[in-house]
Amino acid sequence: MSGNAGARIFALAAAREGRSAETAPRRSDGHRLGNHGNRAHTLTRTKTITDLKDVLAITGKVTSADKAAVARAAGVTARTVNRWWAAELNRQVQAAHRHAATTTAPIVLPRHLYRYAEPNKVQLTPDEIAFVARHTTIRAALDKFRADPTHRLSNYGLSTLYTAYANVAAPVRAGARYGASAGRKIEATFPLTGRDGVNESWSIDEYDLKVTADHYGLQVEPKVLIVRDRCSGLPLSYVVLPRAATGTDTGVVLAAAAIGYTVTHPDDPGREVRVTGVARHLTSDQGGSFLGETGAAAARRLGIGLTPVPSHQPQANGDHEVMHQSLLRHLADGPGSRRGWTDRAGNRLHHGVLPYDTVLAEVETWFLTHINTPYTSGPRRGRTRLQEYADHLEAGTVFRGHDLSAADEGDVAPEVGTRKYDPTRGIAWQNRYWLSPQLASAANPGQTVHLRQLLNPDVLYAYDAQGRFLGLLTPRDDADLADIEAVHRDRVARERFVKDRVAHPRAQAAQVDAARAQAEVAERLADAAAQEDPWTPASARLAVGNVSVDLTTGEVLPADVSNLDDEDAVANTLADMFNPRPVRDVGGDHDAP
């Protein structure tokens, strides 16, 4: 390393000995300021990092053995060297990003920095996927990637490369190894897949509206998340977001697409078309909002399979991108736009800021317009997307999946608040009262109910604190007479059940326990009195509630067989037993007890 012309020379021994002599800021009481856990000298850290840079310049990479060697030379642990080296690489990445912000040239990082710039976003290109498919084992192909110092994947670890290859859809891997026909047999993202029937396949994607909007005082760049049927091209649901989409948003828009909507039949105004159903599989890119833990769990809960498109191949979901172009034309170069309208110098002009409600209204207008927009080319030319959907419904070319329950829908809905259950008025939420027959029969008065909601503002899903589904809530003002009668009927049934099956048995058990306790006390008192007075009633019973107790034996008997129906007789008997008569004086000198 010392032969490198650009290397600096450090006296490592002097650095070790000079630890205590290092000049450092101190407090008024003489104690050092700074990181007390890092006791290594600054020269030691600089020398270690410089040695690793020399190794990187000579061999093109830094291995764990190199880090262990410099750690032994510096007298520190390998963990400390790993922390120093990671901090140095992050510093280089930040410096590269700051440099990119000052120039229009694309940023090009050194190969060894890519793993630190995007450690979780490694995607294999089609050529790399085909290269792996030509080898007998995956490990053989990955070893060749890492053995070639000029390859972009040479600095990645085996676990990262295995993860990147596992993220490639199974149909794509099969197609690369065995041919396109093999990939199509297992439902690869072939352009025609899912176009044989309605709800056979959906597509989902997120699109930047390229406008600036005012959202509660903040300037945001709205995004839209759209679900589309691939067979008819009909958009099924959408949600406008002031931020990037998450897995929760994916679950909401998928559930809304499964619930669907009702529109007038395009060919017969006297009929209606119900757009609803659950898809067989979902085509999407490899975004985290679709393939992440939350998004994948939501699709799995709804019973929809995931079919991601391969990396760097947006044409595999090209029909969805074409739909985005129509949305782009709808919002083209207007107020609030972040595109077009440049001055003579090429600088982009400021187009102002749109109200967020205006963005919502514009997207809704585009949605209603697009479902009735006819195709301009191809075999479906002149037919609208809604007409194509209706034709497939009448022809029966529809994927008949399972039906979603209210609990299935609510499980993917985000929580919007909690309320106390009032058995008289229902749930108070957003200045309205909400009713539910299921909630009336399942919730206790005053119980905390967790509310969830999808895109429909007139439907709430009620859950308890443990996440159990309680019922579907609708506004009381919109409820019909049958719903209100059902609520009262369920409430009365619940009260009757609690009274007959819970309250009465508990009251009977409490009476029996009280009678037994009194009998036990009376028996003990009677035994104590018998030891002092030979007079003891032959038989006495005490009536308590619906039962009677034999005071001599402690046996509990029904009231109808008791021979002491007179309360005065019971009182006199107890008075004679618990207050013994005085013994007559027959001439003795002793005192009466």
Q: Are strands 281-284 and 305-308 parallel, antiparallel or unpaired?
A: parallel
In the Cβ-directed half-sphere of 270, how many Cα atoms lie within 13 Å? 0
Torsion (CA) 313, 370, 459, 281 in degrees, nearest 10: -30
Cβ burial of 142 (10 Å; 0-12, 13-18, 19+) is buried
DSSP 187: T
Residue 544 · residue 574 · CB < 8 Å: no
DSSP string, 499-528: IIIIIHHHHHHHHHHHHHHHHHHHHHHHHH
pLDDT digits (tens, 9 = 90+) for 494-532: 666 666 666 677 777 888 888 888 888 888 887 777 765
How many angstroms separate the CA atoms of 278 and 300, rounded?
A: 12
Cβ burial of 181 (10 Å; 0-12, 13-18, 19+) is exposed
Residue 278 · residue 304 · CB < 8 Å: yes
Looking at the DSSP assignment, which residues form a beta bridge with residue 428? Answer: 433
User: Which one, of 554, 587, 591, 551, lies nearest residue 570 by Cα?
Assistant: 551
State the pTM of this model.
Answer: 0.53
For 79-89, letters b (16+ CB in 10 Å) and e give: ebbeebbeebb
pLDDT of residue 564: 45
Angle in degrees, CA 15, 18, 19, rounded to 5: 95
pLDDT of residue 254: 94
Q: Are strands 272-275 and 261-264 parallel, antiparallel or unpaired?
A: antiparallel
Q: Which two tokens stand for residue 414?
A: 């985000």
In the Cβ-directed half-sphere of 355, how many Cα atoms lie within 13 Å? 3
Q: Which two tokens stand for residue 174?
A: 């099969």
Residue whose tokens read 């670890």 = 157
Residues 6+ apart with CB under 8 A from 211: 221, 222, 331, 334, 336, 337, 338, 354, 359
Q: Which two tokens stand for residue 385?
A: 């997307």
User: Which one, of 68, 64, 116, 65, lies nearest residue 90 by Cα?
Assistant: 116
pLDDT of residue 479: 60
Which three-class secondary structure state does DSSP give residue 186?
coil
**Residue 206: enclosing H or E segment and its boundaries?**
strand 201-208
How many angstroms separate the CA atoms of 409 and 392, rounded?
A: 26
Residue 570 · residue 543 · CB < 8 Å: yes
How many angstroms separate the CA atoms of 506 and 512, rounded?
A: 10
Distance spanning both ends of the chain, measured CA to CA: 114
Q: Which two tokens stand for residue 408?
A: 């299935």
Looking at the DSSP assignment, which residues form a beta bridge with residue 224? Answer: 207, 240
pLDDT of residue 309: 78
10-residue mean pLDDT series, the chain (593 residues): 45 51 54 55 86 83 88 87 87 73 59 54 80 91 89 80 80 80 54 65 88 87 92 92 91 92 90 90 82 86 83 69 81 63 59 84 90 86 91 88 87 91 82 81 84 90 90 76 58 63 74 83 78 52 56 56 50 53 47 43
**Residue 228: enclosing H or E segment and its boundaries?**
strand 223-229
pLDDT of residue 475: 85
